[in-house]
Copies of this chain bind each other. A is one copy, B any other.
Amino acid sequence: MAGKRAPGPQGGLSRERVLRSAVAIADERGLAALTMRSLAETLGVEAMSLYHHVANKEAVLDGLVEVVMAEIEAAVGGLVAPEPEDDWKTAMRMRVLAAREVLVGHPWAPRVFETRTGTSLPVARYFDGVLGLMRRGGFSYELGHRALHALGSRALGFSQELFEPDGVEAPEEAVAAMAEQVPHLVAMIADASHGGALLGWCDYQAEFEFGLDLILDGLERLRSEA
């Protein structure tokens, strides 16, 4: 049925094809490189053709969230985790870390999430699942609600690092340049490197898990006390 005369682009546009290309551009060239014009060019089409499949650029960004959330749901769905009734903390931990693994493939995703906090259905669905897990683990709705806030973006696998976003810059060097202005940070780095080399001393995965466990442990304490 398809495939008579190619209608300009290769095989006809569609919302799915547009979003797939948008993800590819963001993955390969960064979010800043994703413009309606670059997106069109990737698809072998004029920029204005895109508007037949997406309302505007905002809709493209919404679609990006949709794609990433679908990947996360798929990863979570494939998990072999304990039943929340037996061990909600492990179940939750695995879920969050699975989400995080998806995000490492899309380093631009947190920045996109941050700009469309409005109310995205895919994101709401994910948090609904998280809440459901906690309910099965014995949380009241009230504690579950607070837990959602306490976790925030961590439930999706990322946290706002104020230093070094994409691992581009070595914080040690930057801190060294500030030297006497930040004595404690300097001492901290000196302490961490106790004699040896200090390459890559910030293990972001480990730090993420530390923060996650700190919160999950706190929540479990409150849950079991209730």
> Do the beta carbons of B127 and A162 come within 8 Å of each other?
yes
Q: Does A226 contact B (CB under 8 A)?
A: no
Q: Which residues of B contact A165 (CB under 8 A)?
A: 117-118
Q: How many of chain A's residues have a CB under 8 angstroms from any CB in B?
A: 60
Interface centre among A145, A183, A185, by most chain B C-beta atoms within 10 angstroms, is: A185
Q: Which residues of B contact A124 (CB under 8 A)?
A: 163, 174-175, 178, 181-182, 185
- Please tell me if A214 contacts chain B, counting CB pairs below 8 Å: yes
B114 pairs with A164, CB closer than 8 A: no
Q: Does A51 have its Cβ within 8 Å of any Cβ on chain B?
A: no
Q: How far is the CA of A192 from the CA of B117 in the complex (A)?
A: 22
With A118-B165, A124-B181 as contacts: A141 and B187 at CB distance below 8 Å: yes
- Which of A125, A187, A188, A192: most chain B Cβ within 10 A? A188
CB closest chain-B residue, reference A115: B111
Contacts of A185 in B (CB 8 A): 124, 127-128, 131
- Bitwise, A90-124 to B at CB < 8 A (1) or not (0) is 00000000000000000000010111011101011
CB closest chain-B residue, reference A144: B188
Q: Which of A64-105 contact B (CB under 8 A)?
A: none
Answer whether A145 and B178 are a contact pair too, CB < 8 Å, given A124-B163, A184-B135, A218-B214. Answer: no
Given A152-B159, A152-B161: 10 more A-B contacts, CB < 8 Å: A114-B160, A117-B162, A119-B178, A128-B183, A132-B184, A141-B192, A145-B192, A153-B159, A215-B215, A215-B218
